[in-house]
Structure formats: structure tokens, C-alpha cells
Amino acid sequence: MQHSAVPELAHTHTRPIHWVATATAVAGVVALSSVLQPGSATAAQPAGTRAQSAPAAAAPPGTAGVGFPLVCGPVKPVVAQQASGDLDGDGRPETVAVVHCDAAMGTPPDGVYVLTRGADSGEPRVVATLVDPEDRRTVTHFAVRGGVVTATLLGYSSPDVPSCCPDLKDVTTWQWRDGTFLRSTPSPGRSV
């Protein structure tokens, strides 16, 4: 096996002058970039208007300390699930909470509530009930996306069905329209 000889190329050997030239070029670019900085960004406001606080930075209301309209007797309400999003298009997020009584046994029915911040106090408060616990529904899958609340509701076809064993399943959505939450019209409940 014979190796062909490659002639030595002058440009493949670095000399100190190459490093000095490279360092000088990099220093020049850095120095030039520090001199030629863009001006600070400003947003021009039309005369007579004032800037409003950025609603996107508003934190969604929390659930701690909220008085949910749920009668639990000696036990306390428990927030099982929650999600936030701008439901009414005002630029401020609302929180939707799935809440039930903290029962020691069984599957207590869920309530689904919409919370917003009070205009005067900024404290979270319930502004809508999407699912009333008296309807004897249990929420399984739950999400808030694009201003739409979606939940899978398990329920009962009659009062004779035991609470342990819901026999109906509906996927339901709610969306804010014309000042109220409109519930989708689900197809008749499917048997579970």
C-alpha cells in the first residue's frame, strides 16, 4: 500500500502573526459594536391617551380563602383541579376550579366554579357556577384552552343508580358569549 505525499501548504501552519491579526480583528468588531448600539425602544402614545397596565402580566386568581357556594357540613371543600385562562376576552385571566366536599368515603359530587378578581378589592371571588354539586356530577377530564372550558362529566340516569357507579358520561364545553357562559348541548348521555 502506497501513500501519496501531500505537499505542505503554507496556509495550514499558523504563525504568531496570524493570531495577532485574528485578535486585532475580533477586538475591532467588539469595539465597533459597543459604539454602534441601537437607541432604546420607546412606544409612542397618541396625545391624550395614557398607558394601561399590561393585562397579560396579571396573575390569575387563586383559590385559597375563596368561599365556594358548596354545603359540606362538618368537612371542608377541596379544590380537586384548577386551570386558568382569559375566558371573557378582557385580557385578564380567570380561574376555573373543580371543587367537592372532603368526604372520607365515596365520591362526592363536584362543583365547577369560575373565579375572577374583584374590581374593588382584587380578591378572588366566584362569578359563575358551571356545574352545581346538586346535579350529582363528577368531573374527570378538565381543561381550559383558548377561552373554552372542557370537562368530562360522569352522572346518573336516575336517582336509583348508586352513587358509587355513575352510568352516564358527557363531554361538555362552556364558552363566554353575550355576557354569559353558554354550555354546549351534549348528545344524550352515553352509558359508561
Q: How far apart are CA 155 and CA 133, in angstroms?
A: 11
Q: What is the pLDDT of residue 9?
A: 43
Q: What is the pLDDT of residue 49?
A: 43
Cell numbers 375563596: residue: 66
Q: How far apart are CA 164 and CA 108, in angstroms?
A: 9
**pLDDT-based confidence at 39, cuts 50/70/90?**
very low
pLDDT, averaged across the chain: 78
Pairing of strands 180-183, 148-155: unpaired
CA angle 157, 110, 142 (to 5 degrees): 95
Each residue's pLDDT tens digit, 95-152: 999 999 998 787 889 999 999 998 788 889 999 999 999 999 999 999 999 999 999 9
Cβ neighbourhood burial of 18 (10 Å; 0-12, 13-18, 19+): exposed
| Greater pLDDT, 16 or 129 | 129
Nine-digit cell string for 38: 441601537
Each residue's pLDDT tens digit, 62-91: 999 999 999 998 999 999 999 999 999 999
Best-predicted range by mean pLDDT (33-42, 94-103, 154-163): 94-103
Nearest to 155 by CA among 144, 175, 140: 140
The alpha helices in the chain, defined as continuous H runs, are 16-35
